Structure 1
Amino acid sequence: AGGHTGDVASMVLLPQVVNICRGRKSSLTGGPVHVVAAGGMYSGRTLAAAMALGAEGVWVGTRFVACEEAGAGPYHKRLLTKTDYTDTIKTTIYTGRPMRVNASKFVVDWESKRQDEIQKMLVQGKLPAPFGSQEKVEERPFLMGQAAGAIDEVKPAKAIVDEMVGQAHELLAGASKMLVAKL
């Protein structure tokens, strides 16, 4: 759904995961372990990069939140098209687990001025701003990854997929032409 987060960037983590999974068999199927890249996947360029790093597919979150078929509301979709790369923030106030959301004044206030309060509440098993308890729209959690900064319009899902696959194909085909055999 976009906004799920970790501490290691996809471009750093992905090659290591591919190395670890190479040659492994799934205990569930007995077949090979397939690597699917996630985090920052929003365009043909990111798809091509993930494939070049060894992924066999990608999991697209934030980009599909801004598709016509997504269940996100109009406000959320509009936010995604107006967000830049620095307009998101990691927080635990809604669920107790790290998530990336729109950097609203409400969330920024919690994260910049009330860290001690957040930690005390979480240790007690309480959530500072439980998911779904916000009456004001600007206090609600609008999940989105940093890829939101690259999204400027809401499109049909098919158009997004066609664009991503077409661009990735073009880039990967072009990249192979740049390779020169060693003599």
Structure 2
Amino acid sequence: MKKYSWIIVTFSLFIVSGVFLGQGSIGSLTNQNHEIDHGHLVTDDNGSIEEEVYGVQLVIKGKVEQLGDSFKRKSGLITRFGEELYDVTPATIDVQKVVYGTSPDSSKITLLQHGRKEDNASSVHFVTPGEEVILLLVKTTDGYYWSYNFELVHGGEGSCCTAFKMSKSD
């Protein structure tokens, strides 16, 4: 009888470990592998380009004039510690051409970028003075602009982004 119980216990351990290892590898392929996720972005499963950029309000070609001083912006989320704030760094963009959307009230707009210019981890993704860019934008209620779906801008090399850098001229 002891021989059978050891066989059952050993067999059960193989099954349990196989389930855990199998779920881990499947999960890492579907959730953690960015190549698979980004590859999905270019398939026709997502629909048309119009559907993908539905939220874009303005597309411009422009030149980055300057970066402003970083400041804290209210998130609108209230916690037990008060209102949540986050860092933004504004960039002044000289609008050279409106490709899509209603022309801004001025030939210069302010693009908000998440993070502080003193923080290398976030500022590496910022537009810089002298760059010519094409921007897909969403207007804020207080007259600034965000890059459409800014999370994608931070994706790194080879990822989809909404701040297309054309060149840098000094």
Give TM-score, length-normalised by structure 1.
Answer: 0.23
Give TM-score, length-normalised by structure 2.
Answer: 0.25
Q: Which has the higher helix share?
A: 1
Identify which of structures 1 and 2 has the higher relative contact order when contacts are C-alpha pairs closer than 8 Å and 6+ apart.
1
Q: Which has the higher strand share?
A: 2
Larger radius of gyration: 2
